[in-house]
Structure 1
Amino acid sequence: MRHRTDWLSLLAGLLFVGVGIRFVIAPVPDVMVMAPIVIFGLGLAGFVGVLSKAFRKR
Protein backbone atom coordinates (compact mmCIF):
# COMPACT_ATOMS: atom_id res chain seq x y z
CA MET A 1 0.00 0.00 0.00
CA ARG A 2 1.35 3.42 -0.97
CA HIS A 3 1.54 6.23 1.53
CA ARG A 4 0.30 9.59 0.28
CA THR A 5 2.57 12.59 0.59
CA ASP A 6 1.64 15.02 3.36
CA TRP A 7 2.52 18.25 1.58
CA LEU A 8 1.93 20.49 4.60
CA SER A 9 4.44 18.61 6.73
CA LEU A 10 6.95 18.29 3.91
CA LEU A 11 6.93 21.99 3.03
CA ALA A 12 6.95 23.13 6.66
CA GLY A 13 9.88 20.83 7.38
CA LEU A 14 11.81 22.13 4.38
CA LEU A 15 11.10 25.69 5.51
CA PHE A 16 12.49 25.08 8.99
CA VAL A 17 15.51 23.24 7.60
CA GLY A 18 16.16 26.24 5.35
CA VAL A 19 15.83 28.65 8.27
CA GLY A 20 18.16 26.47 10.34
CA ILE A 21 20.77 26.45 7.58
CA ARG A 22 20.44 30.22 7.34
CA PHE A 23 21.19 30.56 11.07
CA VAL A 24 24.25 28.29 10.74
CA ILE A 25 25.66 30.14 7.72
CA ALA A 26 25.14 33.66 9.07
CA PRO A 27 24.24 33.76 12.76
CA VAL A 28 21.75 36.27 14.09
CA PRO A 29 19.82 37.27 10.97
CA ASP A 30 17.41 40.13 11.38
CA VAL A 31 14.18 38.96 13.03
CA MET A 32 12.21 41.53 11.07
CA VAL A 33 13.25 39.73 7.89
CA MET A 34 13.03 36.10 9.03
CA ALA A 35 9.64 36.30 10.83
CA PRO A 36 7.64 37.30 7.72
CA ILE A 37 9.47 34.66 5.66
CA VAL A 38 8.52 31.94 8.16
CA ILE A 39 4.91 33.17 8.44
CA PHE A 40 4.52 33.43 4.66
CA GLY A 41 6.16 30.03 4.18
CA LEU A 42 3.85 28.34 6.68
CA GLY A 43 0.85 30.03 5.09
CA LEU A 44 1.93 28.79 1.67
CA ALA A 45 2.49 25.29 3.03
CA GLY A 46 -0.99 25.33 4.58
CA PHE A 47 -2.54 26.52 1.32
CA VAL A 48 -0.81 23.75 -0.64
CA GLY A 49 -1.94 21.24 2.00
CA VAL A 50 -5.57 22.33 1.66
CA LEU A 51 -5.39 22.22 -2.13
CA SER A 52 -3.85 18.77 -2.15
CA LYS A 53 -6.58 17.44 0.15
CA ALA A 54 -9.28 18.97 -2.05
CA PHE A 55 -7.84 17.39 -5.20
CA ARG A 56 -7.30 14.07 -3.41
CA LYS A 57 -11.00 13.80 -2.48
CA ARG A 58 -12.11 14.26 -6.09
Structure 2
Amino acid sequence: MRRHRTDWLSLLAGLLFIGIGVRFVTAPMPDMMVMAPILIFGLGLAGFVGIITKAVRKR
Protein backbone atom coordinates (compact mmCIF):
# COMPACT_ATOMS: atom_id res chain seq x y z
CA MET A 1 0.00 0.00 0.00
CA ARG A 2 1.39 3.37 -1.03
CA ARG A 3 0.89 6.26 1.37
CA HIS A 4 0.33 9.81 0.28
CA ARG A 5 1.36 13.03 1.95
CA THR A 6 -1.10 15.12 3.90
CA ASP A 7 -2.58 18.05 1.99
CA TRP A 8 -2.48 20.64 4.77
CA LEU A 9 -4.31 23.32 2.80
CA SER A 10 -7.35 21.12 2.23
CA LEU A 11 -7.29 19.76 5.77
CA LEU A 12 -7.16 23.18 7.44
CA ALA A 13 -9.74 24.71 5.09
CA GLY A 14 -12.08 21.79 5.71
CA LEU A 15 -11.70 22.08 9.48
CA LEU A 16 -12.37 25.82 9.23
CA PHE A 17 -15.60 25.29 7.28
CA ILE A 18 -16.71 22.53 9.65
CA GLY A 19 -16.08 24.82 12.63
CA ILE A 20 -18.01 27.68 11.05
CA GLY A 21 -20.84 25.31 10.14
CA VAL A 22 -21.06 24.01 13.70
CA ARG A 23 -21.11 27.62 14.93
CA PHE A 24 -24.04 28.44 12.67
CA VAL A 25 -25.98 25.33 13.73
CA THR A 26 -25.44 25.51 17.49
CA ALA A 27 -25.80 29.22 18.18
CA PRO A 28 -28.08 32.03 17.12
CA MET A 29 -27.13 33.76 13.87
CA PRO A 30 -23.60 35.13 14.37
CA ASP A 31 -22.69 38.58 13.14
CA MET A 32 -21.35 38.40 9.58
CA MET A 33 -19.00 41.31 10.28
CA VAL A 34 -17.20 39.00 12.71
CA MET A 35 -17.43 35.72 10.78
CA ALA A 36 -16.24 37.06 7.40
CA PRO A 37 -12.80 38.22 8.66
CA ILE A 38 -12.40 34.95 10.58
CA LEU A 39 -13.11 33.01 7.38
CA ILE A 40 -10.75 35.13 5.27
CA PHE A 41 -7.98 35.00 7.89
CA GLY A 42 -8.42 31.24 8.32
CA LEU A 43 -8.23 30.56 4.59
CA GLY A 44 -5.20 32.82 4.30
CA LEU A 45 -3.50 30.95 7.14
CA ALA A 46 -4.34 27.60 5.54
CA GLY A 47 -2.89 28.80 2.23
CA PHE A 48 0.25 30.04 3.95
CA VAL A 49 0.75 26.69 5.71
CA GLY A 50 0.17 24.88 2.40
CA ILE A 51 2.81 26.99 0.64
CA ILE A 52 5.33 26.52 3.44
CA THR A 53 4.87 22.72 3.56
CA LYS A 54 5.22 22.46 -0.23
CA ALA A 55 8.44 24.50 -0.12
CA VAL A 56 9.86 22.33 2.68
CA ARG A 57 8.99 19.08 0.87
CA LYS A 58 10.87 20.14 -2.29
CA ARG A 59 14.17 20.30 -0.40
TM exceeding 0.5 = yes
Unaligned runs of 5+ in 2: none
Write the mapping of 1:29-48 to structure 2, written as runs, cut at 5 A.
29-48=30-49
TM-score by length of 2: 0.95
Cα shift readout 1:2-55 (whole Å, capped 9, x = no counterpart): 110000000000000000000011131100000000000000000000000000
Distance, in Å, in 2 between the alignment partners of 1:8 and 1:14 is 10
Find the residue that maps to 1:41 and give its secondary structure: helix
Residue 15 of structure 1 corresponds to which residue in structure 2?
Answer: 16
Unaligned runs of 5+ in 1: none
Number of positions where the alignment pairs a residue of Structure 1 with one of Structure 2: 58
Residue 28 of structure 2 corresponds to which residue in structure 1?
Answer: 27
Runs (4 or more) in structure 1 with deviation over 6 Å come to none
What do you get for the CA RMSD once the two structures are aligned? 0.6
Distance, in Å, in 2 between the alignment partners of 1:53 and 1:5 is 11
TM-score by length of 1: 0.97
Identity across the alignment (%): 79
